[in-house]
Amino acid sequence: MTKPNPVPPRAVDVLVCGGGVAGTMAAVAAARQGATVMLVERYGFLGGNATGGAVAQFNSWQTEAGRRVVAGLADEVVQRLRTYEAAGEHQVFVMSTGHRMDRVEYAPEVLKLVLDDMVTGAGVQPMLHASVCDVVCEDGRIRAVRMLTRSGVVNVHPRVVIDTSGDIDVLHRAGARFLSLDEGDALQPATMMFRFGPIDFERFDAITTAEMKVLATEGYASGDLARAALHASRDPYSTDGWFNISRLGIDATDAQALSQGEIEGRRQAWKAAAYLRRAVPGCEGGRLRAFATQVGIRETRRVEGEHVLTAQELTQPVAFDDAIACGAYPIDIHPASGGELLYASMGDDHAYQIPYRSLIPKGVTNALVAGRGISATHAALAAIRVMTISMAVGQAAGTAAALACEGEGALDVRGVDAARLREVLKAGGALVDA
């Protein structure tokens, strides 16, 4: 049998590992800044939790008082979705738990097209159906990343790596340090989103917050709902809704636990769909139409960075000289078990900042992190993990990586001038001052 020819090694300025919305924004930002960029993704499409996880809403663009805190590439994503007629208008609503939230609902399948458009338009080299299998790290510098692809093993030699894999698999393989949970804390649970319809939204939207809370509580008490919530996002392309009801207390870095979580998530979704049909006005004629491609993961590894962002710094809030993104989403902790939600509002016009140093892992000179694995405590991550903020942080990481690559020879991402980074981000439409 003839052996396949080895795949030649590749050299790029920036290698982004993980094609969720944080990684895609990082790749686009770096490429638009002039860097050569490769974007690696295990699926055949981009978007992560926004597409494969079918979260179906981008929330927390503003403070409760209506002051905008996230824009830039995240806003471009929404505008591009609207050209496909696949995103709703910005809205403020009250959840079944009684909490206020602002959001933009969108069609997850069409988001795949939007992200394709942005990546190809920026000149990013996409490498889909690829998984990182090994990392060569010497003297605190990532020299090579080995990826398993349909063509075989590909060796990539990057000047800068941005780990946006969610579970921070690249830096884990590189031997980076990670933060531990505080005593008494547990990883936030995963969720299996599901699509249900058709829904008579005129009747469904007429349910008052108090009535919805009663329905959710009764569903949880009966065992039909895994959590006491009936949280839905409308699909702009249909009369269906995507529901976030399940609760899976797993460590998603454990392959066996993740496998069992996927199975249990579908079971919980099926039971919840039956309850919607039986008990919730407007849902009587509906059926479960689809499961998300994967369970949505809220939390696994968090890197130990040059700065560990804390909940206290968000609630004060602390003004950082190297702030590269803002947010206003509350501290939103889903317990691993039970039906309730720990939800701490920030106040009417409260916003906070995320510093560049929280994107820089200790002990590695040429790597950055974006998405839910950045350097933050468990409670702080509960606020900054949402996709709007992750897109803003991704834009910052990609911009910083490209700026780092402007010099010759070996580089250190710590050498990026924070003031210049902030100015470039502002020029790109990002909001960096809370």
Query: Most distant CA pair in the chain: distance in Å?
Result: 69
Backbone angles phi, psi at 191, to 5 degrees: -140, 135
91 and 232 both lie in a single domain? no
In a domain, 166, yes or no: yes
What pLDDT is stored for residue 3 in this prediction? 56
> What is the Cα–Cα distance from 109 to 22, expressed in whole angstroms?
18
The total number of residues shown for the chain amounts to 434
Given a cut of 90, whether residue 345 has pLDDT beyond it is no
- Asked whether residue 126 is assigned to any structural domain, the reply reads yes
- Residue 261 and residue 309 in one domain: no
Domain hosting 346: range is 10-184+300-427
Q: Quick check: is 189 in a domain?
A: no
410 within a domain of the structure (yes/no): yes
Residue 4, in any domain of the structure:
no
Q: What is the CATH number of the domain that holds 28?
A: 3.50.50.60
Same domain, 123 and 222: no
What are the φ and ψ backbone dihedral angles of 18, each rounded to 5 degrees?
A: 120, 115
Same domain, 260 and 340: no
- Structural domain total, the chain: 2
Say yes or no: 278 and 320 in one domain.
no
DSSP characters for 250-291? --TTSHHHHHHHHHHHHHHHHHHHHHHHHHSTT-TT-EEEEE
pLDDT attached to residue 194: 97
Pick the last residue of a domain from 268, 291, 314.
291
In a domain, 359, yes or no: yes
DSSP characters for 295-349?
PBP--S--B-BSS-B-HHHHHTTPPPTTEEEEE---EEE--SSSS--EEE---TT
299, 397 contact by CB (below 8 A): no
Q: Are 25 and 19 in contact (CB under 8 A)?
A: no
* Beta bridge partners of residue 331, listed in sequence order: 344
Domain presence at residue 434: no
Instruction: Check pLDDT > 60 for residue 218.
Output: yes
Domain boundary among 234, 256, 291: 291
In the chain, pLDDT over 90 holds for what percent of residues?
Answer: 87
Dihedral sign (CA 90, 94, 95, 96): negative
pLDDT at 117: 98
Residue 149 lies in a domain: yes
| Residue 243 CA to its chain's centroid (Å) | 18
pLDDT of residue 6: 65
State the pLDDT confidence band at 358, using cuts at 50, 70 and 90: very high
Same domain, 361 and 213: no
Pair 275, 312 in one domain: no
Does the pLDDT value for residue 364 go beyond 70?
Answer: yes
Average pLDDT over residues 232-244: 93
User: Over the chain, what is the mean pLDDT?
Assistant: 94
Helix, strand and coil in the chain, % to nearest 5: 30, 25, 45
pLDDT band at 415 (very low <50, low <70, confident <90, very high): very high
- Which residues partner with 93 through β-bridges? 101
CA distance 265 to 377: 27
Asked if residue 104 and residue 35 are part of one domain, the reply reads: yes
The rounded distance, in Å, linking the Cα atoms of 94 and 130 is: 40
- Whether residue 317 has a cis bond before it, omega within 30° of 0: yes
319 with 280, same domain: the answer is no
Question: 236 with 272, same domain?
Answer: yes
Name the phi and psi angles at 165, rounded to 5.
Answer: -80, 0
User: What does residue 404 show for φ and ψ, rounded to 5 degrees?
Assistant: -65, -30
Q: What is the mean pLDDT of residues 370-383?
A: 96
Q: What average pLDDT does the segment 91-118 reach?
A: 88
Tell me: do 219 and 360 sit in the same domain: no
Residues in Cβ contact with 284 at an 8 Å cutoff, skipping those fewer than 6 apart: 200, 277
pLDDT confidence of 357, banded at 50, 70, 90? very high
3-state SS string for 73-108: HHHHHHHHHHHCCCECCCEEEECCCCCEEEEEEECH
CB 161 within 8 A of CB 145: yes
Asked if 204 and 238 sit in the same domain, the reply is yes
**57 vs 77: CA distance, rounded Å:** 12
Tell me which of 240, 272, 291 is where a domain ends.
Answer: 291
Please indicate, yes or no, whether the overall pTM of this predicted structure exceeds 0.75: yes
State residue 184's pLDDT score.
78
Helix residue ranges per DSSP H, 15-56: 21-32
